[in-house]
Structure formats: structure tokens, C-alpha cells
């Protein structure tokens, strides 16, 4: 049987931040605290979720296990500016790069409402 294709969306940009905004560490340098928690701008919105998908693929490859689905990524870097150009990209690629996508997973907790 043919595998379904999952489209995965994440954004890689972040809002500006300074230590004076309340950060305990440099917001643009990933830091691990004494509890093992990671701190850095964009770790949950949205670089962490994007990286998690890549790690899943890496683990499947290391285990020499075929992914049960095909994967198509859409990573953008303009989400914090209103996703400038994203709608045009989707329209342009709907019948090309995104043509075989059966469903999308949006890795951005802000879109969950």
C-alpha cells in the first residue's frame, strides 16, 4: 500500500527579547538550568517543535526503520511578521511541492486556540 503524506508546518523566527525583559539568561543562547530545563527564545514557539520532528526522523533512520508516512516540511521565518508570503507560497506549491500532502500537522501552539 502507498504511504500517506503528512505536511509538517513550523516557524523558526521569534519575537525580539532582551535580558531586561525578565530572562535569567541571554534569551538567544540556549541554557540548561540546575533542574535540567532548557531556556532560550523560541524553544517552545517554535524551534523546539520543529527540531522534534527532525529528531523523530533521525531516530527512525538510526534504527533502520522506515517511516510509516512520507513527510513534507514547511518551515517559515516570517510567522512573527504575519506570515508574509506564506499564502502565496501555499498557492504556488499546492499543485507541486505540496500536491501529495494528505493532511497537515501545525506545530505551533498559538494556532491551537
- pLDDT by residue (tens digit) across 54-73? 999 999 999 999 999 999 99
- State how far the Cα of 49 lies from the Cα of 108, in Å rounded to an integer: 8
Kindly report the pTM of this predicted structure. 0.82
Q: Which of 45, 46, 76, 79 is catalytic?
A: 79
Question: Exposed, middle or buried: residue 11 (CB in 10 Å: 0-12, 13-18, 19+)?
Answer: buried
Residue 76 has pLDDT above 50, yes or no: yes
Q: Which of 13, 26, 31, 108 is catalytic?
A: 13
> Pick the residue with more confidence: 30 or 60?
60
Q: What is the mean pLDDT of residues 45-60?
A: 92
* 74: CB partners within 8 A, 6+ apart: 7, 8, 9, 10, 89, 90, 98
- Is 13 part of the annotated catalytic residue set? yes
Quick one: pLDDT at residue 47? 86
Quick one: pLDDT at residue 113? 47
- Is 79 part of the annotated catalytic residue set? yes
Amino acid at each position: 500500500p502507498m504511504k500517506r503524506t503528512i505536511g509538517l508546518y513550523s516557524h523558526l523566527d521569534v519575537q525580539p527579547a532582551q535580558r531586561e525583559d525578565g530572562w535569567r539568561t541571554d534569551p538567544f543562547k540556549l541554557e540548561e538550568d540546575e533542574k535540567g530545563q532548557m531556556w532560550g527564545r523560541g524553544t517552545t514557539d517554535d524551534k523546539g517543535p520543529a527540531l522534534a520532528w527532525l529528531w523523530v526522523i533521525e531516530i527512525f533512520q538510526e534504527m533502520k526503520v522506515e517511516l510509516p508516512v512520507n513527510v513534507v516540511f514547511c518551515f517559515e521565518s516570517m510567522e512573527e511578521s504575519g506570515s508574509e508570503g506564506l499564502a502565496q507560497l501555499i498557492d504556488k506549491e499546492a499543485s507541486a511541492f505540496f500536491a501529495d500532502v494528505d493532511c497537515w500537522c501545525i506545530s505551533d501552539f498559538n494556532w491551537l486556540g
